[in-house]
Amino acid sequence: MRLPEPAETSDDDRQKRFEVALENTCGDWLRQFPSLPVIAAGMVGSAQGWKETPYLNLPFILEELGRHLVSFRTTTGRSIWIVPGLMRVIAPMNVMRGEETQVLGSLFSGHSDTQEQENLFCLPGTHSKWVHVSRQEIREFTTFMTGEVYAALCSHTILSQTISPNPRVSFDAAAFERGIDLACSIGSKGVLSDIFTTRTLALVGILAPEQQADYLSGILIGHEVHAMIRSRPDPNLRIIPQAPITLVGEENLCLRYAATLKRLGYAEVRFAREAMQQGLWEVGIQAGLITNE
């Protein structure tokens, strides 16, 4: 999605741009080890990506992910294998690309009991995902556009007039918790009302410019987490409310979600690090492209 390209471009030009991106990212490794398989996951397999890869339907057993790779060749003859995304086909429909690989990596790199029990994975980001896994089978997932909405509010709404744009300002835990408490309180009128209080508190001098971003972040993450806690799952999904929650993603963002969960009474929160790397490795083993030696 970040490839620089004009509005009008041919398929051949697009292919070359992806090949340049691969060279810039991995060229030194591939020249030194030309037989290394290249496995990719995420939006590279979307309709806007390098090679569109069909979604697989839920429920889906993660042990089978490597059996569904889609391969193609670059203009230089190198084979690329792309991991398919997953789709929830019943209403409300939902899709993911990349998170399935991270969840797979989390299962195989985390606690020894995670592969044989109910698990809930939270993957914060631009489009946050909450994924329910039962004995290595993804049964359900939910998407929240929390990160993208946060960025848009900070840059393209009336709130941007008072929010400090200085990225070097340290995290304000008190402002963040204030936002969580509003989002999860009986006084909340919903996320569309709560976000406007960022401006109100700024106008009356309660929130300084450098506090407003963290307060807004607390509101949005608070609403997301609270929505998951309040939701009553389908009993057929066998979700255990007390199942451990594993956070997967960028560390600072995961710490915000961990703080929110703990503030709402969820003490058992785990962290999965290098989940994508581990997931891609497991997919390569499943597909027979590498051996676990």
Domains and CATH numbers, the chain: 93-293 (3.30.420.310)
Tell whether the torsion through CA atoms of 251, 252, 256 and 262 is positive or negative.
positive
Q: Which amino acid is at 211?
A: Q
Q: Which token pair is 289?
A: 């492209």
Is the pTM value of this prediction over 0.75?
yes
Q: How far is residue 31's CA from residue 7's CA, in Å, rounded to a whole number? A: 32
- Supply the pLDDT for residue 3: 74
Residue with tokens 């109910």: 118
Between the alpha carbon of residue 197 and those of residues 33, 47, 71, the distances in Å are: 55, 38, 50
pLDDT of residue 229: 81
| H and E: helices and strands count for the chain | 9, 12
H-helix segments, the chain: 11-32, 99-109, 146-156, 173-183, 191-194, 197-203, 209-230, 251-263, 275-286
pLDDT for position 34: 86
Compute CA distances 174 → 112, 178, 205, 259, whole Å. 36, 6, 15, 11
C-alpha dist (Å) from residue 42 to 1, 110, 215: 11, 21, 31
Amino acid at 32: Q
Q: Is the dihedral of CA 70, 75, 79, 80 positive or negative?
A: negative
Lookup: tokens for 229: 């806690």
Burial 96-111 (b: 16+ CB within 10 A, else e): bbbbbbbbbbbbbbbe
pLDDT of residue 235: 43
Give the CA distances from residue 278 to residues 54, 103, 140, in Å, rounded to whole numbers and listed in that order.
23, 10, 22
Q: What is the mean pLDDT of each run of 10 residues along the chain (293 residues)?
A: 59 82 91 91 91 94 95 91 95 94 88 67 96 92 96 95 77 95 93 97 95 97 91 46 82 95 86 93 94 72
